[in-house]
Amino acid sequence: MLIRFLLLAALLAAAFWGLRRLLGGYSVTEPRVSLAAREWALVAATSDAMFPAGGPVAPSGGEAGVPAYVDRYVGSVPSGIRLLMRLLFLLFEQATLFVRAPGSGGRRRFSDLDVDQRVAVLEAWRTSGFFPKRLVFTSLRAILTMGYLADPAVLRSLDLAPWDIESPVCQADLLYPPVGRPRSEIRHTETTPPSDGTPLEIGGPLHPDYRGARP
């Protein structure tokens, strides 16, 4: 009887510990649309390790709004792709239980690791001799990079922000609305003269959505 009680207690303790590691202890307060708190924490921790403050491009992953972008992106993809993305986040967050990070507390969840430990883990995945492991890293990096490059400050730092170009109105603009909009939203009623062919100047004005202090 005592042995059964001890076994039951051990199983309950293990179950509690497993649930606590999987779901508990996430203090995420940002408003979210699609990501669970544990997924937001993983994306935030990974993006700041992959795109650190003071790196080659000024904004960090968090400053560039990568978690919010991924939150919206996950909600926009088909359900099958969304499931795969959630499994990807779960794998990366919990993998340190089986392959520990260097340093003290290396078996903590990825989002709980110190910054240097997170960078070391990412590098280990990137350079692994096991192809599926590198593929997992590449998949996660692709998602985060899309979010990073969607930030206007990042594009300004890379000189990739679009310029403010006044596009002439042609005949087709009188017939068709913007992509994805109904015909009732056709914006133009008459054409305008074509461009005179003057080249754009380097350092010209940026599109209004991308304006800000140049780096």
Q: Give the SS3 label for residue 58.
A: coil
Residue 67 lies in a domain: yes
Task: Tell me whether residue 171 is in a domain.
Answer: no
DSSP string for 96-146: GGTSPPSSTTTTS-GGGS-HHHHHHHHHHHHT-SSHHHHHHHHHHHHHHHH
In a domain, 35, yes or no: yes
Instruction: Name 163's bridge partners.
Output: 206
Q: How far apart are CA 105 and CA 98, in angstroms?
A: 13
Nearest to 49 by CA among 37, 60, 35: 60
Of 151, 146, 147, 192, give the one whose Cα is nearest residue 173: 192
162 within some domain: no
In a domain, 138, yes or no: yes
Q: How confident is the model at residue 9, as a pLDDT?
A: 58
Per the DSSP assignment, residues forming a β-bridge with 206 are 163
In a domain, 42, yes or no: yes
Go through 19-33 and write b for each residue having 16 or more CB atoms within 10 A of its CB, e for each that does not.
eebeeeeeebeeebe
Only one residue has tokens 């993006």, namely 47
Structural domain count of the chain: 1
Residue 3, domain member (yes or no): no
Q: Are 42 and 139 in contact (CB under 8 A)?
A: no
> pLDDT tens digits for 112-170?
999 999 999 999 999 999 999 999 999 999 999 999 999 999 999 898 888 888 888 88
Q: Which pair of tokens denotes residue 23? A: 């779901």
pLDDT digits (tens, 9 = 90+) for 48-105: 999 999 888 989 999 999 999 999 999 999 999 999 999 999 999 999 988 899 999 8
- Domain, as residue range, for 122: 27-150
